[in-house]
A and B are shown apart, each in its own frame.
Chain A
């Protein structure tokens, strides 16, 4: 007598059935014990792998603590690394911006002058408008700004003040020493310094391309953030009407890259120039 399968079992079987449409050529009957054991080990590995990835994606829990985050990190890094927004889209309500300016000397000498701030994110926003597949190059400024904001938030108020006050004339390594001696988490300081370096180099390359007729002496960047107003409020302003909260770091020494890198930036930045 045939025993009716439970609903879940039938469902699982139905899923498996839909994935199996080939002409059956049963060869499993001819397998030796070792070969069958091998197949079962493969199945076990699949279960263990899926469980580890699931745990890595899951929020903190006693099971996750039992295995240890570092063990999971070691396993997924780099080939199985992924995030929770791999399908669909993530959500965000913070608009971030990166503005750059430079201290420049006109060609042929003269007094140094400071340029106006150039909102690079606004330039990128304009560039992607109407594009069905925007290039990654137009995401750089916004990503740099987002990473910097994240890194700055992790610093304590004293460290943020140091970041703002330390200029290009400070000895090499002073910023790092001061950040580390001002409390806070060491990895947060390291993270900020890496992002500061990236932003400084990006600013130098971008401004160098935008201002081809002047000599760049120093560069400075500032990062802004503003929050999308709540939709429920009837009198809420539009995002465009809200000003950014800006945070400026001190002046930084200009980074000189290879000619190929400067040429690529010149092509990209095109006609943007200072007033």
Chain B
């Protein structure tokens, strides 16, 4: 008995040690976090811009009819816009769009993030009657991203940090460059980031699994008629010809039904191996894009895409990043050569400016 207990304690200690190392030593999935930041931010911008012309009706004074539903909601952020004039609504609305744009670009990311989060809830929760589940996903994603460092890559903040680091290196070497902006100790920053990452990953897995389990408990999904029925409803047929095309093909309906069920139900277990993870992420993205088009729900589905790509490994993101920057370099080099050639003609020199250095002037790669 003592032996069992000793082995259990040893196992528990080893597990907790590994967990502490994982949480403290470095920030994980930093490129995935950046991708989620960009996708979720674009989803917020898209939703707000889509409804900008009808904002008074949606969440402004003309949504007064929705007051009983609003009263049942307990978001404190609601007070920001409750009963305000159209001008104030417009100001908050515009501020939230600008903050979301800054969040996407990674410009003063944390401040932009907080403003986006508060503004999004204050606006969207004003009218619970027309809320959709995608709103909850965006809200939860923004919440967990608050803990994370989402601007370490593909952001203006990262670019500025790099520029400062390079300048400082020129003056006094490499020492002391790392973590120059951190207010909190590095281990706390790492723990917060990784806690947010785990929570967001768990949330995403829960969302997929709950959706799958809910579907298989319904007769319509068991009998394969759920998508057909939904495609017949007027509100789900923005493109009737496309809906009819899918609805009239038993093969397409069967593939889609099985695809949706398999992706949602087995999302979590399929993440555990590299090959199946690639498969399930690609399948989930295909399903999301298809639903975005067929049901005209681009912003909700973009939010789904954003949280799904959290599970794309940083190695893959690095390859994508490298490929993109190489393409960009080719284009910028070509423009640079053309510019020099033009200047040469203007100066009366020969038109050939000579090859530009391969990566001259290319941006810092984060």
Q: Tell me, in angstroms, the Cα distance from A91 to B222 when the chains sit together.
A: 12
Measured between beta carbons, the chain A residues less than 8 angstroms from B23 are: 28, 39, 42-43
- The answer to whether A260 and B85 touch (CB under 8 A), given A22-B27, A130-B239, is yes
- The answer to whether A128 and B32 touch (CB under 8 A), given A59-B217, A91-B220, is no
CB atoms of B73 and A19 under 8 A apart: no
- Assign chain A's interface to a size class: 35 or more
Question: What is the minimal beta-carbon distance from A40 to any residue of chain B, in angstroms?
Answer: 6
At the interface, yes or no: B197 with Cβ under 8 Å from chain A? yes
Question: What is the minimal beta-carbon distance from B213 to any residue of chain A, in angstroms?
Answer: 8
Q: Tell me, in angstroms, the Cα distance from A136 to B48 when the chains sit together.
A: 10
Question: What is the minimal beta-carbon distance from B169 to any residue of chain A, in angstroms?
Answer: 16
| Residues of chain B in range 224-258 having any CB-CB distance to chain A below 8 Å | 225-230, 232-240, 247
Q: Find the residue from A21, A43, A83, A147 having the highest chain B CB count within 10 A.
A: A21
CB atoms of A88 and B291 under 8 A apart: yes
- The answer to whether A134 and B238 touch (CB under 8 A), given A23-B26, A86-B137, is yes
User: In the complex, which of the residues B56, B230, B271 contacts A15, with contact meaning CB atoms closer than 8 Å?
Assistant: B271
At the interface, yes or no: B30 with Cβ under 8 Å from chain A? yes
Question: What is the minimal beta-carbon distance from A239 to any residue of chain B, in angstroms?
Answer: 5
Q: Tell me, in angstroms, the Cα distance from A50 to B140 when the chains sit together.
A: 13
| Residues of chain B in range 45-60 having any CB-CB distance to chain A below 8 Å | 46, 50-51, 53-54, 56-58, 60
- The answer to whether A133 and B273 touch (CB under 8 A), given A16-B22, A261-B64, is no
Segment from A72-80, A158-166, A246-254 that makes contact with B: A72-80
CB atoms of A19 and B26 under 8 A apart: no
Question: What is the minimal beta-carbon distance from A252 to any residue of chain B, in angstroms?
Answer: 12
CB atoms of B227 and A264 under 8 A apart: no
At the interface, yes or no: B35 with Cβ under 8 Å from chain A? no
Report which A residues bind B (CB closer than 8 A).
Answer: 8, 11-12, 14-16, 18-28, 31, 35-36, 38-40, 42-43, 46, 49-50, 53-54, 57-59, 77-93, 95, 121-122, 124-125, 128-137, 139-140, 142-144, 147, 194-195, 197-198, 201-202, 205, 228, 230-232, 239, 255, 257-258, 260-262, 264-265, 267-268
Pairs A-B, 6 closest by C-beta atoms: A11-B272, A18-B313, A21-B314, A91-B226, A264-B62, A201-B65
